[in-house]
Amino acid sequence: MTPSPSQSPALPINSLVGQSSAMQKVLESIKLYAQTDDNILITGETGTGKRLVAQCIHNLSRRCAKPFVAIACPAVAESVFEAELLGYEKGAFTDAKESKAGYQ
């Protein structure tokens, strides 16, 4: 797995469309969570716009000048997910021949 920073232009929150009360709650949550430094787990079915929501949160956050890195979690084996996401030190496990920084 080698996620790369998004090269797409900043995605404004008004690019998300919907009039339902559920969608209005999503938009309010985006604005609220974008102001925190907390980690945010976005879950949902395939094709529901999780990446769009994550990118909107990023673009409204204090980190907006830094790269947006999207990771397709199903593409990462469960056994290596933590090491890939957080990084590891040389010798931490059998195949860790050198240290690797995580995606923080």
5 - beta bridge partners?
69
User: What percent of the chain has pLDDT above 90?
Assistant: 36
Ranking 9-13, 74-78, 83-87 by mean pLDDT, the lowest is: 9-13
pLDDT of 7 above 50: no
- pLDDT on residue 1: 43
Which of 11, 53, 9, 7 has its CA nearest to residue 34? 53
Residues 15-34, mean pLDDT to the nearest whole number = 90
Going from N- to C-terminal start, the domains of the chain cover: 8-70, 76-104
pTM over 0.75: no
Axis crossing angle, helix 50-60 with helix 21-33, rounded to the nearest 10: 40
pLDDT of 21 above 70: yes
> 71, 39 in Cβ contact below 8 A?
no
